[in-house]
Structure 1
Amino acid sequence: MKFSNSSKWIQVGLVAMASAFIAPLAFAQDAGTRVAVVNSEKVFNESNLAKAMQTRLQNEFTKRQDELRKSAEKIKAAAEKLDRDGAVMSEAERSRRQRELADQDRELQRKQREFTEDLNQRTFEERAKIAEKANLVLKQIAEQRKLDIIVQEAAYVNPKADVTDDVIKALNSQK
């Protein structure tokens, strides 16, 4: 079988590409790279810091959430009343009430957007605090166990490599 110059270069290129992918793996194995994995969502959901964060946010936002729910119920009741009584109202009165309802609904939607934005912002701030503490704990675990890499959210994790529970325990033991 005779190869042209272009097919030789393709073969050389394929060998070079394969070497580029395989070499780091071989090096990592030869170097004895130690890897661990942490499930950050589990840390954000199950640690005492996360539970305290949920309580704080709930206490901070429950009143506004209740007010929004009450406003929505009032608008719904007014819309139902308008549907029932609209037939006996004058056209001008019906139009005026429809405009009022539309204005109230727009205002409610604006307040709901603000509520959601505020809640998301506060959640982000609180999670950042937890992440900062968790990263310090991860660094300590890496140093204690002589780990080279700690990866978040791996597709597959051997339970031996999962340090999530250790991170949660360490966070829970902090004041």
Structure 2
Amino acid sequence: MKTFSRLFNRRFLLVTALGLAAFAATAQDFRIGFVNTDRIFREANLAKAAQTKLEQEFSRREKEVQNLAAQLKTASEKFERESPTLPDAQRVTRQRQLVEQDRDFQRKQREFQEDLNLRKNEELQSVLERANRVIKQVAEAEKYDLVIQEAVYINPKHDITDKVLSGLNGSK
């Protein structure tokens, strides 16, 4: 029985050693790349153009919301100064007007923010789709087995973000 056990242990060790050697050989051929999506959104010409487009598209509405905020602040400060001398009926009327003005401001600000976020997501999605096509091209050309975009830690030698940015900025 001891002979069988020794023979089994030797075979097990041999099979394990061969398996580890095969895994090591395969692991050397396995190429991983990493793309920093935040850098793509900050540095790609396409992303910068999208940001400029959004700023132009929403600048008028943003100014309107800022003007409403300034008007509300001015009206509120005026009310605070004058309220001690106002008759009760007039004070109540002005308070209602301020509440209504504030409600209108809050609604317009919320609508502006929702519209801006929606358009921003649309533009970022377009940039991401283009980036993913370039990532796929780089991965196929350089024979990467896996490309990831989110990681807790990545060794900088696996970062292919610069290659993707070059591909994005070079393509029309």
Shorter-chain TM-score tier: 0.7 to 0.9
Sequence identity (%): 49
Cα distance, 1:118 vs structure 2: 0.5
Cα distance, 1:174 vs structure 2: 1.3
Is 1:45 the counterpart of 2:42 in the alignment? yes
* 77, 83, 86: which one aligns with 1:80: 77
CA distance 1:120–1:142, change in 2 (3 Å): same
Find the residue that maps to 1:156 and give its secondary structure.
coil
Structure 2: where are the runs of 5+ without partners?
1-18
Match of 1:120 in 2: 117
* 149, 152, 165: which one aligns with 1:152: 149
- Which has the larger Rg? 2
Aligned Cα root-mean-square deviation (Å): 1.6
Cα distance, 1:87 vs structure 2: 1.2
Match of 1:30 in 2: 26
Find the residue that maps to 1:153 and give its secondary structure.
coil
Cα distance in 1 between the residues matched to 2:88 and 2:40: 59
Using structure 1 for the length normalisation, give the TM-score: 0.82
CA distance 1:98–1:27, change in 2 (3 Å): farther
Using structure 2 for the length normalisation, give the TM-score: 0.83
Q: Which residue identity does 1:90 align to in structure 2?
A: P
Cα distance in 1 between the residues matched to 2:24 and 2:98: 66
The Cα offsets for residues 104-141 of structure 1, whole Å up to 9 and x where unpaired, read as 10111011111111011001000111111111101100
Where do 4+ consecutive residues of structure 1 move more than 3 Å? 26-29
Cα distance in 2 between the residues matched to 1:44 and 1:29: 37
Cα distance, 1:27 vs structure 2: 4.8
